[in-house]
Structure formats: structure tokens, C-alpha cells
Structure 1
Amino acid sequence: MKHTGLQFATGVLLIATLGGCGGGGESQAQQGPPPQGVPVQVATVNSATVVDSTNYVATLISRRSVTMQPRVAGQVTNIYVRAGAAVAAGTPLVQIDAREQQANVSSFEAAQRSARAELDSAEQTLRSNQADRQSRLSNLRFQKRQFDSYTQLGTEGAVSQITVDQYRDSYETAKANVDAIDSQIKAQQAQVARARSGLKQAEASLRQQQVQAQFYAIQAPFAGAVGDIPVKVGDYVGTDTRLLTVTENRPLEVNVAIPQERAVQLRKGMSIELLDNQGKVVGNGRIFFIAPNIDTGNQAVLVKALYDNPQGQLRADQTVQSRVIWNKQPGVLVPATAISRVAGQNFVFVAQAPEAGKLVARQRPVVLGDIQGNDYQVKSGLKANERIVVSGTLKLTDGAPIVAQP
């Protein structure tokens, strides 16, 4: 929280030292009168930003946290990280012995290559049959023209019936050859379909084995911090073994329980400051969630804010002090050293000048608000630009003369 400070006014205490010469060679020093008032420090009250806030205990919650467990059984061969390490998504964490699985992958890769070769061979044979069909179809068309021509000549008596029958036989043979290659093509198409299906199955099986192989390398699912690692290299682990945890610390949810009497003041977007052990602000977030109901256990309303945690100095499940900012407005702040308390009433001493060159301290009751750092909010009894005593108040009474000191 920033606010304008108090500008200290300085007074000057003048002590005159007079020297003279006495008769008979003797010197006699004369000192002026003592200071006409109690020496104090005086400051001018300036306007400041007065913050209405309340401190509460907050709990920091991770939005994502996961316990890593293997999806396969095997022996741990390597652990790449240490507990507490910050990791990025995809960072290798733990390696489980995958030699047997790699052998399976190699076997399925060979099966996939064999299926690919079988498909290539079947497709090559099909293309050859289709080319042969084109040749036979051309011959069929030629034989059909020859047969038609000689049939006409036979009708006209230009050639014998034997010749016509020979051309009929050649045509029928060509037709049978086309029918035969069509049957071969149909059968080969079925063979290609089977080979293609076999390749798809081999590829699917290979992918399954490759995915299975990935399970042996445990990686971080998202960026976060590594928790406790209970296993060690050489341990045999199963699918129910807890390997480690990864917890996202950026951002963190700030959970605060607000007493029900202040619930009506809650608004989304209100600021929540996070404080260190010395009360210094280390970060802030804004309320994005207000519970619709009261917790019957503590009669409080849960609110949540989001803190980016850019430096990662705060961790999930950590308990910290937080400050909910209810309101900010112009006001007056005075140092705590300026406050006197008499019979349960708070006072300040206002420096006034009833005569030129003279100051007196007037005791004035004030109503205080919250403390901000080393200063108190003054709700009433004091205005900006008034001068107050900020040190030496224990020596003062109402109306006492004072002398401002540097």
C-alpha cells in the first residue's frame, strides 16, 4: 500500500552564547535563557490513501495435482528428477525397464513390414493382370471383327463354312481368355483387399505396442513441482505403485474463509493481498468465486482468488496470511508514535501558534481506524495540513509550550 508520508517540519532552537571581558583581566561567560518549551518533533499531516482491510488466514490450493502411477509393471532403471524439482510438461521422470517391450515392438515392426510387402506384391500382380486384360480385350475386339467379316463372306458363298468355323473358334477363344483374366482380376482384387486389411491390422498392432512402450517412460503431464519420490532405482513396481506426485504451483488458488457478518460486502474482483511473515505484500489476486452458502462448521463464506505465483515462492497446501481489501478512500494517517492514550481515549497533540514565534501543544481526542504499517488511520478529530507532535509526547500536557526540533 502506498501513501504520501508526513513531512517533518523543523524548528530551530537558538542558543546564544555571549562572551565578554571583565575588569581586572578576568573573563566571565554569560549564557542566554533556557529554551522556552519542551523540545519535540513536529510533522505536517498530509492526505493519504486509507485502506479498509482485514487480515485472514488463507490456504493455497493447486488447481492440478496428480499422483503418478505406472500403467505397466517392471523394474525401475532410472529416476531423472529429485523431490522438489520444478519440471516442464513432458519432462522425463522415471524409466521402467522396457527391453522386453522393445523386443515386442521390433517383432511387430517386422510383421508390419511383411504385411506391407505382401500388399505391394498383391497390388503389383493386380496391375499386371489388368494390363493383360487390356491386351486380351484388344484381341477379342479383333477376333470379333474377323468373325463378323468371314460370317458375312460365308453367307455370300465367298468362303467355305470350315473357314467361318475357324474364325468362330478364334473369337470364342479370345472371349474365353477375357473371361478368364476377369476371374483372375476379381480373385486378385480380393487378395489385395485381404493384404490391405492385414497391413492395417499389423499397423494397428504395432501402434498398440509402441503406445505400450511409451508407458515405460514416465513423463510430467504438466508443468509443476515434483513431490516425494518413495521408489528407488532397482525397485519392482506395479500398476498400483505410487511413484511420485506432480503439483502445479503456477497459478495457485487462494482460499479464504470470510466471517458471515462481512459476507454482504464481498464482491467478485475484490483484491486479496498475500503477506509474508513480516507482513510484507508478496503478491495479490482478485476474487473470482464466492460460495453461495455458509459453511455450517465455521459460519464463514469461502472465497477464492487466483494468484499467478510468478516466482514460484509459494507452494500448494501452504497456509499464509492474507489481507482482504474492502475499500480504499482518501483520508489521514499519523505515525503510531503520535498517539497518546489516556483513560481509554486516544489523543494527539496538535502544534498551534497562539503568538508569532511561539508554539503550544493542544491535546485533541481522535477516533482511530486500522493500522497501516507504522501509521494509524484517523477517522475523525484531525485534518490534513495540521501540524502534530510525533515524538516527545510523554513530556507534554495540554497547552504546554513546545520547541520544534530537527
Structure 2
Amino acid sequence: MAKSVAVDDSSEYVATLKSRGSAAIMPQVEGHVTKIFVRSGARVLDGAPLMQIDPEKQQATVSSQEDTRAAKVAALKYARQQYDRVQGLKASGVISQQELDQARTALDAAEADLRSVEAQVREQQAQLRYYRVTAPAAGIVGDIPVRVGDRVTVSTLLTTVDSPGIMEAYVSVPVERAPQLHLAMPVRIVDSAGSVLAESRVTFVSPQVDDQTQTVLVKAGIENKGTLRPAQFIRARVVWGTRQTPTVPVLAVSRISGQYFVFVAESEKGGLVAKQRPLKVGEIVGNDYVVLEGVKEGDKVIVSGTQFLRDGVPVAPQG
């Protein structure tokens, strides 16, 4: 006999996964890409090299600044020696205080020049590090639209790095169902076979309707255990609530040319005869199919010997 059980009233939609921790990678300098160290989809660690931008010009600038620093170091050494010499002469009364003051001024100027050049060297060395683009965090490399030889600027998108831990499913729900949407309602991420990959809940419902698709954007947070990837298409099952639905044993159901059937015992001329009915079934709960159409609670479903039955054959209850 068909019995009724409480099952989820749900709808499945195609959804897109997006990472909550997605970083757009743009260069901080201009130049030509000379190396790409990774491929799209690769997993990288924090600080891993992603690309190299031609550093030759910047290296020349750093080298020139270092040469200038060396000259300033030599000039400071000379100014200090001169000051020490003049200071000794002043102590002996050979030269005036004015000449000592001039030597002190020259020494101070040499020290200031060296400090200025050292600051420039540090700045140019810091700039040089920007020519190697690195990952700002551990994650998965997205699409890489640039190629070796391309010239890039500070506004060029090189790639993205998505942290795979916490993700969001972007689900487009038809506007007709929008009034039923609310925060915290269950969402299940399922595979092509209907198996649940992750449990989630609605974290965002857009107040606006997409005028082109006539859908409402819904987001659901997902803890990724390593099986999901950013930009992946998935199936999201939005659970509206529960409802009482008839079920029939799996053993009672036959499938012919893709259509499900079941035999039901119906009263006819004072007895019972087998009647074949087409079914529309849903998920399996335990050992039973959830029936969407075809039978109702209380129908006498024939479970055994169905392979020998034909429509209209007399049957008798067992036991």
C-alpha cells in the first residue's frame, strides 16, 4: 500500500561557485611579460611567483643608483678626513674658526647627500621587487588572459587567486518564487546523480530582479572540502519546506523505455485486478521512491510477482 511521508519540497537550479577570498592580480609597474610561472587552475602558496615583468630597465636604474651611492660614500670619507685634519690644525692655532666651520658644513652636506642617495637606492630596489608578481595568499589561480611578450600596465588584470576554503553559490531563482525566498532557508549542493555534496543556507537574497533573465540572485555560503572550484557550475537544490508525499517500494517499480510504472490492485466486478500506472518519481528515501504523480496514499501497490503481471489480470492479496 502506498504510504505518505514528509519530504522536502525543493527545486533545483544551475548555480555558479565563487570564492569569497578572490584577489585580482594587477602589476604595480609597467613593462613586458617575460615569464609566466603558473597555469590556470594551479594551486599556489602565499608569496609564490606568478609572473615576471622585464626588469632590465629597472635593474639599470638600481645599478646606477648604487654607483652614485659608492661615489657619495667616497665623498663622505674624504669630507670626514678633511674635517679631522682641519680640526687638528685649528687646535694648533694654524687656521681660523671660520675654516673649521666650513669643513664641518662640507661634512654635514656629504652625510646628507649619502642619506638621500641611500633612500633612493632603497626605493628603486623596492620597485625592482614589483617586477616579479607573486600570490598575495594561498589559493587557486584563475584565468590568465596575458601571454609572454604582452605589455602590461598597472590597470592590466593578470589573473586572479581564489582562496578555496569558503565559497558562495550564486543561484538564479525565477522571479515567481521570489516571495518564498528568505534568509537561512536550506540549500543543498548536489552532483549529477543527486548525491548531496554540501549543505548550506541562504545568506543573501537580492532585492532586485535581473531584467534580462527575470530571476533573483540568491547566495549560499559553502565550506569547500577540496572538491569544488571557483567558477564551477553546480546544481543547487533550494528547499522551500516539507510536504506529505506518497511513496512506493523500489521493488514495485519497473522502468520501460525511460518511463516508470507500477501495478496497483483495483476493485473490479467484485474482485481485484492489476492495473498498470505510469509514475513520475523523485528521490529515493530509504527503500522507497517518492512519487510525484501516478499514485496516492492508500493505493494498493503490488510489490511481488510484477514481472508476470499484465493489465487487467486478477490478483489476490497475500497474507
Corresponding residue number in structure 1 for 2:143: 227
Residue type at the aligned position of 1:214: R
Deviation, structure 1 residue 65:
5.5
Asked if 1:287 corresponds to 2:174, the answer is no
User: Are residues 1:108 and 2:65 paired?
Assistant: yes
Q: CA deviation at 1:284?
A: 3.6
Which letter does structure 1 place at the counterpart of 2:248? V
Residues in 1 aligned to 2:74 and 2:242: alpha-carbon distance in whole angstroms: 78
Whole-Å separation in 2 of the counterparts to 1:75 and 1:221: 19
- Contact kept in structure 2, 1:57 and 1:256, CA below 8 Å: yes
Contact 2:82 2:103 in 1 (8 A): no
- SS of 2:182's equivalent in the other structure is coil
Query: Partner letter of residue 195 of structure 2?
Result: K
> Which runs of 5 or more structure 2 residues have no equivalent in the other structure?
255-260, 266-270
SS at match of 1:201: helix
User: What is the rounded CA distance, in whole Å, between the counterparts of 1:334 and 1:128 in structure 2?
Assistant: 109
Partner of 1:320 in structure 2? 234
CA contact (8 A) 1:249 1:309 kept: no
Structure 1 regions of 5+ residues with no counterpart? 1-42, 137-172, 341-345, 351-359
Q: CA deviation at 1:273?
A: 1.8
Q: Deviations over 1:333-360 (max 9, x none)?
A: 43366579xxxxx99859xxxxxxxxx9
Q: How does the TM-score come out when normalised to structure 1?
A: 0.55
Per the TM alignment, residue 311 of structure 1 is displaced from its structure 2 partner at its CA by 1.4
Counterpart CA distance in 1 for 2:145 and 2:50 is 10
Partner in structure 2 of residue 71 of structure 1: 29
Is the alpha carbon distance of 1:238 and 1:54 closer, same or farther for their aligned partners in structure 2, counting shifts above 3 Å?
Answer: closer
Alignment equivalent of 1:259, drawn from 158, 171, 174: 174
2:113 is the counterpart of 1:198: yes
In the superposition, relative to structure 1, how do residues 312 and 120 fare at CA in structure 2: closer, same or farther (>3 Å)? Answer: farther
Are the aligned partners of 2:263 and 2:301 in contact in 1 as well (CA < 8 Å)? Answer: yes
**Cα pair distance change 1:73/1:378, threshold 3 Å:** closer
For residue 87 of structure 1, the aligned residue among 16, 19, 44 is 44
Which deviations, in whole Å up to 9, do the C-alpha atoms of 1:74-117 show, x marking residues without a partner? 462x3322343222332212224434433432332343355456
Contact 1:50 1:328 in 2 (8 A): yes
Structure 1 vs Structure 2: percent identity of aligned residues?
Answer: 31
Write out aligned runs for 1:7-156 (5 A): 50-63=7-20, 64=22, 66=24, 68=26, 71-74=29-32, 76=34, 78-115=35-72
SS at match of 2:210: coil
Q: Deviations over 1:151-184 (max 9, x none)?
A: xxxxxxxxxxxxxxxxxxxxxx9xxx9x938x94
**Structure 2 counterpart of 1:275, one-letter code:** V
3-state SS of 1:212 partner: helix
Q: Is the contact made by 1:129 and 1:185 (CA closer than 8 Å) also made in structure 2?
A: no
The structure that has the greater radius of gyration is 1
1:325 and 1:361, CA in 2 relative to 1: closer, same or farther beyond 3 A? farther
Query: Distance between the aligned counterparts of 1:315 and 1:335, measured in 2?
Result: 40
- Residue 180 of structure 1 is matched in structure 2 by 97
Give me the whole-angstrom Cα distance separating, in 1, the residues matched to 2:281 and 2:156: 49
Aligned partners of 2:2 and 2:296 also within 8 Å: no
SS of residue in 1 equivalent to 2:316: strand
Q: What is the aligned-residue RMSD (CA, Å)?
A: 5.0
Q: What letter is aligned with 2:162?
A: E
Does the 8 A contact of 2:26 with 2:156 survive in 1? yes
